[in-house]
A and B are shown apart, each in its own frame.
Chain A
Amino acid sequence: MDPGDFFASSRVLIVAGKGGVGKTATAATIAVAAARTGRSVLLIEVSGRSAAAPLLGAEPQGYEETEVVDDVGRPTNIRCRSLTPDQALVEWLADHGFKRIARRMARSGVLEVVATATPGIKDLLVLGKIRQLETARAADLIVVDAPAAGHAVGFLRSPAGVLETARAGTIHRQAEQALALLSDPDRCRVMLVSIPEETPVNELIETSFAVEDEVGITLGPVVVNSVLPLIPGLDPAKTKRSHYGAITDVEFDDMLAAATFRLQRSALQQQQLTRLAGQLPLPQIRLPHLFVPHLGPPQIELLADALTAGIESLVDQP
């Protein structure tokens, strides 16, 4: 599939996955890969963290948009911002006739009461704000780094939940609009992220069925992070000391230990990838494990290469 077509298929991509599977890095990678196809991208983090912008080499983002520039200071066509439920609630109240008292309400605890009375209202308001940005064409593509797995389902389910609780009022209409956004694949899709390990794969499968069946949202390909690249010729049994003289015994033992460990882990990963493919009929895009202690802009560029290649190898859907 042509990456340009891929990123043009929906205006909002929601990236969701369990904690620790590299969800934020994947969202940043998607943003970079989409920007390479000439699109303007708005990357939104909703968990209250500011981890996405630093991955792209920018200062941690806030509620205001931050322009991401490359290492020589040129604009990249990517903007980042955060959008927390509390910020969304205060802004929404301000827009709906509570301007003067919105902050005081937040401080007094009245908001907490409202949020408790209407489950999902905060998540709904975040989705509502995303919908507003989408409708206003704030960018060609909006990439949302969603809350971690368990909560992601609640997040996506929030419009339906609110429709049930608040049967009338402004918030009811807001929920209808958010639901319309989520259930229209031309406007919004969810990309689930995991790593090839047992528990994350289980959670991915559970989340995907919950998201599709209960929320009626369209799922894009699954991104599997941290896949160990296969090393051709890796075989400790055939690795003989005599083949090379300038290596000490300790170094040679390390090489054998590293080779054995790598093969073990790789085999386990392949098992999980096969299991995932068998249990979840969605295309997989695999991103390589990078052997660095932490990720930064150069690594995100590498991952964007792999993501683009993965998209190119997807079969076109009619």
Chain B
Amino acid sequence: MTGYRDLIHGREVVVCCGTGGVGKTTTAAATALAAALDGRSAVVVTIDPARRLANALGIDELDNTPKIIDGPWPGRLGALMLDTRSTFDEVVRRNAADDAQAERILSNRFYRNISTTLSGTQDYMAVEKLSELYESSDWDLVVVDTPPTRDALAFLDAPLLLARLLDNPVYRMLTAPSRGVLRIVNSAAQTMLRRLARVVGADVVDEAVAFFQSFEGMEDGFRTRAMATLDLLADDRTAFVLVASPRRDTLEEARFFLRQLEGSGLDVAAVVVNRMLPTMSTSPDRSFAIASARLHRHVAAAATALADHTSAAEGDDQRVEDLMGEVNGATLVKVPLLPSDVHDIDGLNQIAALLVRGSGGVLVE
């Protein structure tokens, strides 16, 4: 079985997925750092990082080009905080037939809403940024943090977002108003649009119509691009890392992610379980027995702390093991609960070291 180090060494793209609040961004940043320590040129795309972590990485604001982080590593480390809006603008400019078409789209109010409203836009742009960085050949490894979601498929569906929007009956109706069989669909859609105008106001509908008309001729470009990106995500160049915590509910959600990824034919290369409580050899039952004995005050207090600790941790290892039993050949890394949040390079270094070689027996293969 391969370790996390092989994963960092041998892949070109690492996608960190999982629910919110489990340390996904930290894991992604530490993975890129570990690669830089390994002599590779690595960049991490973060989404909404905690402020102090962002500061430590030198990415204080949304940006489209990676900032280089200097430090004592043989490789190169870059980071950026995804700017969904301007990444989308770039995608439009790249795909438009000419400047006039790009400007028509960019100035449309419906388009401007897309970056904030359309569900999946953030995932879409994370994937776009990923492929752009991958194609630039500036980096050996691109690590992506994914937006918090309960749905792994949101990320995998993301590349098709625009292609699918342009497949919308409304769009087809507007660009091909007389295409035989579709005419009936079209008249139904026309009726809907008229009635919708009464509900949301005519100007809203007009803007939407103008948006779809302005995309004329760009559909194939988006679709081709989406397919290439999906190929990249699906083959050996890419590793999916599932980030979780030992809490039962987050492991349940991790399991749900695993099934979804498997259902899409994708393997999870590693599972990183953050926030593991330090392991004690005393059992919860024995801890409680000690705590309930007649003890000197300070000893009793320490016994209570142990009983609390062991009962909170009870079953953590078992639950993580159960999950691993359902993943073929994935590496497991357990990261202990740290005394404080990771918000500097030293902290990331610590996590990177844990990911690569483990410490105090926390790396399990």
> A: which residues have CB within 8 A of B?
18-21, 48-49, 51, 96-98, 101, 105, 108-110, 112-121, 148, 150, 165-172, 197-200, 202, 231-236, 238-240, 243-244, 246-247, 250-251, 254-259, 261-262, 264-265, 268, 291-294
Q: Which residues on B sit within 8 Å (CB–CB) of A51?
A: 249
Cβ of B156 to closest chain A Cβ, rounded Å: 18
Tell whether A293 pairs with B248 under 8 Å between CB atoms, given A117-B208, A121-B200, A261-B278.
yes
B178 interface hit (Cβ, 8 Å): no
Q: Which residues on B sit within 8 Å (CB–CB) of A115?
A: 117-118
> B: which residues have CB within 8 A of A?
19-22, 48, 50-52, 109-110, 113-114, 116-118, 148, 150, 164-165, 167-170, 188-189, 192, 195-205, 207-208, 245, 247-250, 278, 280-282, 286-287, 290, 293, 295-312, 314-316, 319, 339-341, 343
Tell whether A258 pairs with B249 under 8 Å between CB atoms, given A113-B170, A117-B200, A198-B343.
no
Cβ of B204 to closest chain A Cβ, rounded Å: 5
- List 18 additional A-B contacts (Cβ < 8 Å) besides A198-B341, A258-B280: A19-B19, A96-B199, A109-B167, A109-B168, A110-B196, A112-B118, A116-B113, A117-B207, A120-B117, A166-B200, A167-B203, A198-B50, A234-B304, A235-B298, A254-B287, A254-B306, A256-B302, A262-B305
Contact of A239 among B51, B249, B298 (CB under 8 A): B298
What does DSSP make chain A's interface, helix, strand, loop or mixed? helix
Bound complex: CA of A75 vs CA of B32, how far in Å?
Answer: 54
Q: Which residues on A sit within 8 Å (CB–CB) of B51?
A: 202
A110 and B199 contacting across the interface, CB-CB below 8 Å:
no
Bound complex: CA of A98 vs CA of B198, how far in Å?
Answer: 12
Tell whether A116 pairs with B114 under 8 Å between CB atoms, given A202-B50, A257-B280, A293-B316.
yes
Of listed B189, B197, B248, B280, residue having the most chain A CB within 10 A: B280
Tell whether A259 pairs with B249 under 8 Å between CB atoms, given A20-B21, A109-B170.
no
What does DSSP make chain B's interface, helix, strand, loop or mixed? helix
Cβ of B299 to closest chain A Cβ, rounded Å: 5
Of listed B19, B114, B202, B301, residue having the most chain A CB within 10 A: B301
Contact of B48 among A109, A110, A150, A262 (CB under 8 A): A150
Cβ of B239 to closest chain A Cβ, rounded Å: 24
